[in-house]
Amino acid sequence: MQLRLICALATAAALAPPAPRLAKQPKRLKTRRILADDVILYAGDDELEGDAKVGSAGFRQLVGFRGAADTEDEPLWKIRIQLTKPGTWVPLIWGVACGAAASGNYRWPFISGTFAEGAEDFAKAATCMVLSGPFLTGFCQTINDWYDKDLDAINEPYRPIPSGRITEEEVFQQVYFLLFGGLALAFGCDVWAGHNIIANPLNSVGLLACFGALVSYLYSAPPYKLKAEGWRGSFALGASYIALPWWCGQAMFGHVGEGAAGGELTPPVVVLTVLYSLAGLGIAIVNDFKSIEGDRELGLKSLPVAFGIDGAKYICAGLIDVTQIAVAAYLFAIGLQTYALVLGLLIAPQIWAQTQYLLKDPVKYDVKYQGTAQPFLVFGILTTALAVSQHPAALA
């Protein structure tokens, strides 16, 4: 078991996103308007902040980070990739890995299974990662960019839609391909895993994908547009990055019909991951600090707008810390003291980062805080997933 734990942590470390390089003196991204429909980016590398400092301008353009190159001769295939924002796939891929770990059924070649069994499970995990990342996250990002095109014309005019480098017809071709292609892949996973979606709908990858697609639409599209409403929008975002990919991974690897003992996704695990998503809500608040001025002008009810920067930063830190401390206490109570201790040790540096960055100036240090604290948060999620795999009776 210790060897399996080491292997899982090694794999997770390989998937963990690197912390972005940081500007010593962050400045606003500048644009120069030439004509009504022609905006040219002229910020230098030393004038960028946060994710806008990662890689070259061309790389930032491709993965969907701020500070991208503003070009007019990109091929359509590259523009389509930009719309899906590959930089946002990583947390979903991580979540699938956590769900697979929580099932307790992932087989490592020559460790907990034969080479053939390990290869099959790797293929299953990779398929779920493609489903959660390129397909469904890509769908979410594409439709979000479409409904945010007016806002992006102000804040990120180099994005494919406001820059006019892709047409409305081409955008919706991509939306439909990613949505229906993703759903087809999800129901194919059910066939592969031998799921009976009528008898056990909670463990249907296809139905979970349908639910995730619905949340994505409600998050971005009017008249609902959850992202414009502080609490609901932030929680929907947090759950999409923590709970939904976990459910997908665990549903794929749970032994059909065996319940919690077979590693299936159960209502208590759903509740646990939804509650853990409160920490994701806190992370969503961190992302809102940098856009508080624009949100206020456009009437968006983000939590920094509703509570002010000082109020929101304490709400943010409280949600992240209390959620993880409660999970650690729960693990301790059900007899998993080692996992509870590991989780506690992972919480400590996050609190330190909050005192050094988040609580001092969340606008100035938002990216530096996330680069310091989030690796410990995501390893905490993995620790919890491994704990779930070791104590299924408590989650029956």
pLDDT tens per residue, range 95-146? 999 999 999 999 988 788 889 999 999 999 999 999 999 999 999 999 999 9
Residue 3's pLDDT is 45
Residue 18's pLDDT is 40
Spatial distance between the Cα atoms of 249 and 15, rounded to a whole number of angstroms = 15
Burial class (CB in 10 A: 0-12, 13-18, 19+), 10: exposed
Residue 19's pLDDT is 38
> What predicted TM-score, i.e. pTM, was given to this entire model?
0.79
Reduced to 3 states (helix: H, G, I; strand: E, B; else coil), residue 113 is strand
Q: Which residues pair with 31 in a beta bridge?
A: 41
Residue 153's pLDDT is 80
64: left (phi over 0), alpha (psi -120 to 50) or beta: left
Spatial distance between the Cα atoms of 148 and 154, rounded to a whole number of angstroms = 10
Is 7:111 a contact under the CB 8 Å cutoff? yes
Q: What's the chain's Rg over C-alpha atoms?
A: 21
Is 202:265 a contact under the CB 8 Å cutoff? yes
Buried b (16+ CB within 10 A) or exposed e, 62-93: bbbbbbbebeeebeeeebbbbbbbbbbbbbbb
Amino acid at 352: W
Query: Which residue pairs from 285-292 have beta carbons closer than 8 angstroms and sit at least 24 positions apart in sequence?
Result: 285/234, 285/312, 285/315, 285/316, 285/319, 286/316, 286/358, 286/362, 286/366, 286/369, 286/370, 287/366, 288/234, 288/312, 289/313, 289/362, 289/363, 289/366, 290/50, 290/363, 290/366, 291/155, 292/363
DSSP element (H, E) containing 123 = helix 115-130
Residue 117's pLDDT is 92
Burial class (CB in 10 A: 0-12, 13-18, 19+), 388: buried
Spatial distance between the Cα atoms of 239 and 273, rounded to a whole number of angstroms = 8
Spatial distance between the Cα atoms of 238 and 190, rounded to a whole number of angstroms = 25
Spatial distance between the Cα atoms of 184 and 177, rounded to a whole number of angstroms = 10
Is-cis flag, bond preceding 223, omega within 30?
yes
Spatial distance between the Cα atoms of 325 and 246, rounded to a whole number of angstroms = 20
Residue 218's pLDDT is 93
Reduced to 3 states (helix: H, G, I; strand: E, B; else coil), residue 280 is helix
172-208 pLDDT per residue, tens: 999 999 999 999 999 999 999 999 999 899 999 999 9
Phi–psi pair at 59, nearest 5 degrees: -65, -45
Strands 38-41 and 31-35: antiparallel
Residue 40's pLDDT is 31
Token look-up 């490592």 returns 108
Phi–psi pair at 217, nearest 5 degrees: -65, -45
Ranges of the chain whose pLDDT falls below 70: 1-72, 155, 392-396
Retrieve residue 101's tokens: 């770990």
